[in-house]
A and B are shown apart, each in its own frame.
Chain A
Amino acid sequence: MEESALIPHLFRTEYRKMISVLCARFGIEHIEQAEDIVSETFLAATESWSTRGVPENPQGWLYTTAKHKTLNWLKRNNFFREKLLPDLRYSTPEGEEPDIDLSDRNISDSQLAMMFTVCHPSIPPESQVALALNLLCGFGAQEIADAYLTTPAVIYKRLGRAKEKLKEAGIPVEQPSAREISERINAVLKTIYLLFSEGYFSSSNNAVVRKELCVEAMRLNYLLVEQPLANLPAANALLALMCFHASRFDARVGESGEIMLYHEQDASRWNRELIEKGEYYLNQAATGPMLTTYHIEAAIAWWHTHQEDTPEKWDNILDLYNRLLILQYSPMAALNRTYALARARGKQPAIREAEKLALTDNFLYYSLLGNLYTGVDDEKAIRHYQTARQLANTPSGVAAMEKYIAELTHRPVH
């Protein structure tokens, strides 16, 4: 570990663990206190470590310090006895010192519990995602703002409101029951899906933050499949989907930082290990009566792990997109379907279908039309790529469009 990145690294890995453990211990209504304790712990670290150097086990140092600060807080004004003890959930046998359990086991249990608290139906979906980023992934207002192309002040307000809701609702942070899991699992999976999508497809230029979003989404999903009650087919399907996508994460960027579209990618740069993991979870997902959108999307993503184009591959992908759209329509899925249609049935029918969608404010729509018209009507292809270039909001998007325009412009006339 480069020492210059030590604190950011520890902050990302440890902040969320300590927050979850403390919230599980005190109850969500004391979330701000938990955040203060953890923030102070990090501040204390900067001072202490500046005089003597970084301790041998910085994680242990943070845990010990956070524990001391918490116990002091509990004892202050007999807070523990007066306010927490009457609530049996948090009680400790008479005369015993309250303890803070920072074992690995309790950390992952607490994080899982927090996931189900954050995704309680009383919390609006957009707040769930912001809270998940903040409390479960340890992202600060600045990083969330980077991912969503907004200002930290906006995110700070959104988080503040979401935390108020969380406190008002007073949802216990505890191991969810089978019933609670079945009631909230959809919201939990949706939140994880959004976290991942934000990282994978986001317009933010901060590649480090984007990759971490994907890693975090997968980590949270992993916590689910590790818990027998939450290890549901849909959770496995989502994890498989993310493994397949993530296997191409690095291959998506070319040497000069430009987007490499799927068919341009160097398949040897795809991560085989992740693909195999994805296949494992997809198999795990193939039980039970429920076919979710995650199952279908995972199956589509699985076909994409085979770069070689066969009629079978594109027929299957097209069929899967058709089923996906029946289950849950979305313009982006419809757009992707037209690409599969072009590969399976040719460009003409795909162009007709694509133009019906008329997603005229969408970069990907014009980029796809550019692709479909290439070789059919290059003049039109160029015009579509030009529109896409104007709508692109990342340098890599602009670079990719310029590359296609240049290729078409310099193509010899037939």
Chain B
Amino acid sequence: MNEFLLVFRRDYKTRETQPSPEQLQAHLSRWRAWFEDLKARDLLARPLQPWEPAGKVLKHDKSVTDGPFAEIKESIGGFIVIKAENYDQAVKIAEGSPILELGGSVEIRQAAG
């Protein structure tokens, strides 16, 4: 088994498709269901870890600002580390991620070495 990093990115700015409260609730349920499923199939390489929604950004000149900003077109919604044989399998697993239903994407990286 190899380890793969799944990074969830979301397009925050698409106003026309902003979800309704009921859709948000359903979205939350699907995230939970998906995580439960990954746990049950023992596909999580690390325990789930929530991240604060706001953090810091360190720039090239070593200046630190609060971030990420609302203006960043895509924002990282979180990431998990899963177990999979290969990219094909990791992609297959990532296809279940609810981030896709709100116009987001998943970046997949295999742990090297």
Q: What is the interface of chain A, defined by CB distance below 8 A to chain B?
A: 4-8, 10-12, 32-33, 35-37, 39-52, 65, 68-69, 71-73, 75-76, 140, 142-143, 156
Chosen A-B contacts, 10 in total, with CB atoms closer than 8 Å, are: A6-B25, A32-B15, A43-B10, A43-B12, A48-B51, A48-B53, A65-B54, A73-B70, A140-B21, A142-B20
Cβ of B18 within 8 Å of any chain A Cβ, yes or no, is yes
Kindly list chain A residues whose C-beta atoms are within 8 Å of the C-beta of B20: 140, 142-143
How many chain B residues touch A (CB < 8 A): the figure is 36
Which of chain B's residues has its CB closest to A41's CB? Answer: B53
Are the C-beta atoms of B67 and A49 separated by less than 8 Å?
no
Are the C-beta atoms of B78 and A72 separated by less than 8 Å?
no
Given contacts A37-B70, A51-B35, A71-B66, contact A7 B54 (CB under 8 A): no
Task: Give which listed residue, B31, B48, B53, B65, contacts A44 with CB less than 8 A.
Answer: B53
CB-CB contacts below 8 Å: B45-82 with A: 48-51, 53-54, 65-71, 75, 77-78
Highest count of chain A CB atoms <10 Å: which of B25, B75, B77, B78:
B25
Which of chain A's residues has its CB closest to B99's CB? Answer: A47
Are the C-beta atoms of A46 and B53 separated by less than 8 Å?
no
Are the C-beta atoms of B31 and A47 separated by less than 8 Å?
yes
Which of chain B's residues has its CB closest to A40's CB? Answer: B12
Besides the known contacts A46-B28, A50-B35, 15 further A-B residue pairs in the complex with CB atoms under 8 A apart? A4-B29, A8-B25, A10-B21, A11-B24, A45-B24, A47-B8, A49-B28, A52-B50, A68-B53, A71-B66, A72-B54, A72-B67, A72-B68, A73-B70, A156-B16
Q: What is the interface of chain B, defined by CB distance below 8 A to chain A?
A: 8, 10, 12-13, 15-16, 18-22, 24-25, 27-29, 31-32, 35, 48-51, 53-54, 65-71, 75, 77-78, 102
Are the C-beta atoms of A51 and B48 separated by less than 8 Å?
yes
Are the C-beta atoms of A5 and B25 separated by less than 8 Å?
yes
Are the C-beta atoms of A51 and B28 separated by less than 8 Å?
no
Kindly list chain A residues whose C-beta atoms are within 8 Å of the C-beta of B21: 7-8, 10-12, 42, 140
Cα distance, A163 to B35, chains bound together (Å)? 39
Which of chain B's residues has its CB closest to A71's CB? Answer: B66
Are the C-beta atoms of A40 and B70 separated by less than 8 Å?
yes
**A38 shortest CB reach to chain B, Å:** 10
Are the C-beta atoms of A76 and B28 separated by less than 8 Å?
no
Kindly list chain B residues whose C-beta atoms are within 8 Å of the C-beta of A45: 24, 28
**B80 shortest CB reach to chain A, Å:** 9
